[in-house]
Amino acid sequence: MASSCSVVVTAIVVVVLGMAAAASAQLSATFYDSSCPRALSIIRSAVNAAVARETRMGASLLRLHFHDCFVQGCDASVLLADAPNFSGEQGAFPNANSLRGLDVVDTIKSQLEASCRQTVSCADILAVAARDSVVALGGPSYPVLLGRRDGTTAVQMQANIDLPAPTTNLGNLVTTFARRGFNSSEMVVLSGGHTIGAAQCTNFRSRIYGETNIDSAFAAALRGSCPQAGGNANLGALDSTPNAFDNAFFRDLMLGRGLLHSDQQLYAGDGTGTDAFVRNYASNSAQFFSDFAAAMAKVGGLGVLTGSQGQVRLNCSRVN
């Protein structure tokens, strides 16, 4: 009696421990060291090649990881095409006609599949490619923990809710990031991602024609390429040095040269709101780099699937 009871107890303990292990499996820096030792170098080479072809691709890959992680966690849900049973995130307002780099991710995935079949998740590809992009453009490196698994579903409306819009005011920017556990200075430092890349006219037109907290020469120059009607996809650089990951974005904000309404919201110029953080990062590049790296590591840990959760997709665009 006693022994059969202890067998049952032991079995329950084993099952419970097993469940706990599966549920709480941790990301790890060495996750692919034995299962796919070349994984990190394959991703880095492909990112460097893509950035060498087109510098802006580094910005596009950074944005993909941010948009993945803020919606349903870093589960590569952003990569899922519309499926028979759901409309994916790519059709959501912040993503439609503006996500870039999906082809680069597919190239990386097929190289990884050729090297180690169904081993490296699409979510991990996005996390590593974002870091390698930042490094390729001169920004800080930071360790990326690995072992994320890919999700099996996506909800288009969730991307509209969870991602900030260029029309967003400071209060709602703070709220959107607070919902994911980021305070106001982390929101500001992450917005520093706009030190690289570009935005389309449709996303800054109302700012350059209608707003008053904008440098007039800056606005006038942009009106040349972003007309009041038409040219919706014409590009404007997000800061004065869009090919370099540097702290110019913050100095530009202090000059009224934020391209997006949402970016200029970070700096009022009267010491209120998040002005102090902008001033700090504008004058202290090392602080920007180290705070950005820390915040990105935190972004990469949002809502991750680990252990036996989710799956490793074979094709990043669809569930296996």
Ligand X SMILES: *[C@@H]1O[C@H](CO)[C@@H](O)[C@H](O)[C@H]1NC(C)=O
- Footprint on this chain of ligand HEM (rule: CB under 6 A): 56, 59-60, 62-63, 66, 98, 100, 164-166, 168, 173, 190-191, 193-194, 196-200, 203, 238, 260, 262
Nearer to ligand HEM, 200 or 240 (CB): 200
Would you state the structure tokens that stand for residue 307, as one six-digit string?
């252990």
Tell me: does residue 279 bind ligand X (CB under 6 A): no
CB 247 within 8 A of CB 192: yes
The number of C-alpha atoms within 13 Å of 273 and in the hemisphere containing its C-beta is 19
Is 67 known to be catalytic?
yes
Tell me: does residue 319 bind ligand X (CB under 6 A): yes
C-alpha R_g of the chain: 21
CA-to-CA distance for 142 and 182, rounded, in angstroms?
A: 18
- Cβ of residue 314: shortest distance to ligand HEM, in angstroms? 26
Q: Is 15 annotated as a binding residue?
A: no
Catalytic residue among 56, 63, 65, 67: 67
Which of 183, 225, 228, 272 lies at the binding interface for ligand X (CB under 6 A)? 183
CA 106 distance to own-chain centroid: 17
Tell me: does residue 142 bind ligand X (CB under 6 A): no
CA-to-CA distance for 238 and 5, rounded, in angstroms?
A: 67
Nearer to ligand X, 162 or 204 (CB): 162
**Segment near ligand X (CB under 6 A); pick from 69-77, 80-88, 259-267, 301-309:** 80-88
CA-to-CA distance for 130 and 59, rounded, in angstroms?
A: 8
- Count Cβ atoms within 10 A of the Cβ of residue 315 and give its class: 0-12 exposed, 13-18 middle, 19 or more buried: middle
Which of 25, 55, 86, 279 lies at the binding interface for ligand X (CB under 6 A)? 86
CA-to-CA distance for 202 and 312, rounded, in angstroms?
A: 36
CB 48 within 8 A of CB 129: no
- The structure tokens 């002005």 sit at 275
Tell me: does residue 25 bind ligand X (CB under 6 A): no
Q: Which does 256 bind (CB under 5 to 8 A by kind): ligand X, ligand HEM, none?
A: none
Residues 101, 105, 110, CA angle at the centre, nearest 5°? 145
Which residues, other chains included, contact 225 with Cβ-Cβ below 8 Å and sequence gap of 6+? 201, 231, 234, 235, 236
CA-to-CA distance for 281 and 286, rounded, in angstroms?
A: 8
Which of 186, 239, 246, 263 lies at the binding interface for ligand X (CB under 6 A)? 186
CB 123 within 8 A of CB 150: yes
Closest CA to 48 of 155, 124, 137: 137
Q: Is 124 annotated as a binding residue?
A: no
Which of 4, 30, 41, 85 lies at the binding interface for ligand X (CB under 6 A)? 85
Tell me: does residue 152 bind ligand X (CB under 6 A): yes
Q: At 232, which amino acid appears?
A: N
Q: Which does 47 bind (CB under 5 to 8 A by kind): ligand HEM, ligand X, none?
A: none
**Segment near ligand X (CB under 6 A); pick from 63-71, 135-143, 167-175, 310-318:** 310-318
Q: Which does 203 bind (CB under 5 to 8 A by kind): ligand X, ligand HEM, none?
A: ligand HEM
**Segment near ligand X (CB under 6 A); pick from 51-59, 162-170, 178-186, 258-266:** 178-186
Instruction: Give the binding site for ligand X (CB under 6 A).
Output: 81, 83, 85-86, 152-153, 183-186, 315, 317-319
Bind-site residues for heme b: 194
Bind-site residues: 68, 71, 73, 75, 77, 89, 164, 194-195, 239, 241, 246
List, by residue number, the catalytic residues: 67
